[in-house]
């Protein structure tokens, strides 16, 4: 990247832009090299300006939510990584409007406190609202897509976009928004009124189930593989004898076989090596080809 471009970025974005920012700091796996440029876009106007800046300079951009579903390569990412600031949350009747940078869990907790049901399953899902609609985050048989009524965003040109419900498609850990080349800026969710105590108790129950089954405090990115139809990836991986397998600092969790944990110092290639080793064992043991759920940002294919 030309020095003049970096200077221009500094002029435009001041202290909100960083050079060679280690992405490991911004991802729950704690793995990944530097972003050539890293912008914390605290306001929509800055986000818009950054999109125009990258378009005008043919600079690729990547939007990072809370980095809880990505595996970043050790060489880092070229171009500009844009991270949204914490977002606002507003209630209007039985809908919640949440900015994309807001924590999904916080939105769910606020909904519970206000006596709205629908988001209890989000308890313990550690991403942002934007990341959740892109990935169609879900748990306990429910998913964010079924609550989503409208999505707001910016095109790569900085132009505003709106996606009403009928233009959105959600599937198992995917949404039509994955094809959208721009940035999600806000989402409207439809909920229903319910006694606040009942909602909070349901969230507590969901959290307890999660804590019992998953290594919730570990450095990881949640479930590595999607569940194959009618089965559980964790079950197949465990039966194939993969629990405890390691490559460098990366290990297949002994608590939940579908989690790979960075025990400290794990590299991108350690995790990739483990992913391939697990796939191979599951293929041999069960004849099933596991599909990645996490987003591998080092995969050029
Ligand atoms: C301990 C743990 C438990 C988890 N449990 C679950 C679970 O139960 N269910 C589940 O579904 N997931 C789970 N996850 C995975 C993860 O939390 C979710 O997928 C989450 O929704 C990702 O949000 P994020 O903000 O971290 O997205 P990121 O990981 O930052 O990004 C994911 C993708 O979304 C894109 N993106 C993010 N924000 C935007 C935006 N504003 N505009 C455009 N693109 C954007 C990114 O470019 C990337 O492609 C878990 C993760 C961990 C670490």
CATH code of 69's domain: 3.30.43.10
- Tokens matching residue 39: 């912008």
Task: Quote the number of domains for the chain.
Answer: 3
Report how far ligand 1's centroid is from the alpha carbon of 294 (Å): 8
pLDDT digits (tens, 9 = 90+) for 55-93: 999 999 999 999 999 999 999 999 999 999 888 999 988
Query: Is the distance from CB of 187 to CB of 152 less than 8 angstroms?
Result: yes
Say what percent of the chain tops pLDDT 70.
Answer: 100
Q: Residue 2's pLDDT is what?
A: 83
Q: Using the predicted structure, report yes or no on whether residue 1 has a pLDDT greater than 90.
A: no
- Tokens matching residue 76: 């880092």
pLDDT digits (tens, 9 = 90+) for 26-61: 999 999 999 999 999 999 999 999 999 999 999 999
d(CA 63, CA 61): 7
Q: Whose CA is closest to 250, among 280, 215, 226?
A: 215
CATH number (domain holding residue 180): 3.30.465.10
Shortest-distance Cα residue to atom 51 of ligand 1: 222
**Three-state secondary-structure class, residue 198:** helix
Q: Kindly list the strands in the beta sheet with 61-64, ordered across the sheet, starting from the edge strand earlier in the chain.
A: 17-22, 34-41, 77-84, 61-64
Q: Can you give the residue range of the structural domain that contains 280?
A: 233-296
Q: Residue 87's pLDDT is what?
A: 87
Of 35, 57, 84, which residue constitutes the final position of a domain? 84
d(CA 142, CA 108): 14
Ligand 1: which atom is nearest the Cα of residue 129? 25
For residue 137, the Cα-to-chain-centroid distance in whole angstroms is: 8
Q: What is the pTM of this model?
A: 0.96
Q: What are phi and psi of 253, to 5 degrees?
A: -55, 140
Report how far ligand 1's centroid is from the alpha carbon of 95 (Å): 22
Which residues have any ligand 1 atom within 6 Å of their CB? Answer: 28, 62-70, 84, 100, 125-128, 130-132, 134-135, 137-139, 173, 183-184, 216, 220-222, 295
**Confidence band (pLDDT; 50, 70, 90) for 301?**
low
d(CA 115, CA 124): 19
Instruction: Tell me, yes or no, whether 189 and 282 share the same domain.
Output: no
Q: Interior CA angle at 48 toward 173 and 171, to 5°?
A: 10
Q: Which of 125, 210, 297 to mutate to test the pocket of ligand 1 (most atoms within 8 A of CB)?
A: 125
CA diameter of the chain: 57
Of 27, 62, 84, which residue constitutes the final position of a domain? 84
**Three-state secondary-structure class, residue 85:** coil
């Amino acid at each position: 990247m030309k020095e003049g471009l970096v200077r221009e970025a500094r002029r435009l974005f001041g202290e909100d832009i960083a050079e060679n920012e280690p992405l490991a700091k911004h991802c729950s796996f704690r793995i990944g090299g530097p972003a050539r440029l890293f912008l914390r876009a605290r306001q929509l106007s800055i986000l818009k300006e950054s999109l125009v800046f990258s378009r005008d300079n043919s600079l690729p951009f990547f939007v990072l939510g809370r980095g809880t579903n990505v595996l970043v390569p050790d060489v880092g990412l070229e171009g500009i990584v844009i991270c949204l600031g914490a977002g606002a949350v507003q209630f209007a009747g039985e809908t919640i409007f949440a900015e994309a940078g807001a924590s999904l869990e916080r939105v769910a907790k606020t909904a519970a406190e206000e006596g709205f049901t629908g988001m209890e399953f989000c308890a313990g899902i550690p991403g942002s609202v934007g990341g959740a609609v892109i990935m169609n985050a879900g748990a306990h048989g429910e998913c964010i897509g079924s609550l989503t009524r409208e999505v707001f965003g910016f095109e790569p040109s900085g132009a505003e976009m709106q996606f009403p419900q009928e233009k959105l498609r959600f599937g198992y850990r995917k949404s039509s928004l994955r094809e959208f080349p721009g940035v999600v800026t806000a989402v409207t969710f439809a909920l229903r009124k319910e006694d606040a105590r009942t909602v909070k108790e349901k969230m507590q129950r969901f959290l307890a189930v999660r804590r019992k089954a998953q290594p919730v405090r570990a450095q990881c990115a949640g479930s590595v593989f999607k569940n194959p139809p009618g089965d559980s990836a964790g079950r197949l991986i465990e039966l194939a004898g993969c629990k405890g397998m390691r490559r460098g600092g990366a290990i297949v969790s002994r608590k939940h076989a579908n989690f790979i944990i960075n025990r400290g110092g794990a590299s991108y290639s350690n995790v990739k090596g483990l992913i391939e080793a697990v796939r191979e064992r599951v293929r041999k043991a069960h004849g099933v080809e596991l599909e990645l759920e996490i987003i591998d940002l080092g995969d050029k294919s």
